[in-house]
Amino acid sequence: MDFFESFTGLQIAVAVAATFGAAFIRGLTGFGFGILLVPILALALTPVEAVLAVNVMAGLVALTDIRLILREAEKSAIVISALVVVGTPLGLLLLEATPNALARLIIALIALSAFFAVLLPKRGADQPGHLTTGAVGLSAGLLTGFAAMPGPPVVPYYVGRHIPRMTAKASMIGIFGVAAAAGVGSGAAIGALEWQVLVLGLSLFPLVLLGNWIGSLAFGKVNDTHWRICVGTVLGATAIAALLKLV
């Protein structure tokens, strides 16, 4: 059966709505795209297909923010991005070796962990030490390959500190862009990136641009507490929905 013929109308509608919603959250906060979208797409696609399709979209949308990244991102983003590239192939190989049902469960649990990470108390503005930064980079790489979700370790690293929101957003967007490129490159290198998955990612990308643009317009118009609560609620609801579907 053709790749696209295997989708029902409902699955396509859910993919469209989920892509737009995840892109809006990404534009508003700088994170959440893969965390929101992968658990939903993984219910209609195989986990590998879902992860690679999301990485295609995430990599392309990061290119639209390159000036923001270069102007505002913290220097720690360079170190974390380099380590993400190292860890991503290992995560993708682990995903390929994991049964689909178990992989979907793990992906949903990862998304749920992000909900709790967003709600952690804020720390000072000082950049964490080399060990913490290295651990964030490597774990983000593993999660990029396994679930297209570098967010759970990266988001608390930036959002959990008293630094300007623009700095946090630009740093996360830069890391996630590198992570997405590493994910796509790793998928191509091991033969997991099928042309149909690439076409799917490209087909959904206009929705990503639209949702991200609308979310960017809202950025700065809500206070810190409100957007943390909003994003945390969305993350938690998405993960719970994915878990209930699996059960």
pLDDT tens over the chain, length 247 residues: 466 666 677 777 878 888 998 899 888 877 778 777 887 887 777 888 888 888 899 889 989 889 999 999 999 999 999 999 999 888 888 888 888 778 778 777 776 776 776 666 767 778 888 999 999 999 889 888 887 778 778 888 887 788 888 898 899 999 989 988 988 888 888 888 888 888 888 989 999 999 999 988 887 677 766 766 766 676 676 667 666 666 6
Separation between Cα atoms, residue 68 and residue 243, nearest integer Å: 36
Packed helices 151-159 and 100-118: angle between N→C axes, nearest 10 degrees: 10
**70 three-state secondary structure:** helix
Q: Where are the domains of the chain?
A: 4-246
* Rounded Cα–Cα distance for residues 182 and 190 (Å): 12
Phi, psi of 3 (to 5 degrees): -55, -50
CA atoms within 13 A on the CB side of 227: 21
Q: In 3D, which of 59, 64, 123 has the Cα closest to residue 88?
A: 59
Q: How many beta carbons lie within 10 A of that of residue 125, not counting itself?
A: 10
Phi then psi for residue 149, to 5 deg, are -130, 75
Residue for token pair 């913290």: 74
pLDDT score recorded for residue 209: 94
pTM: 0.78
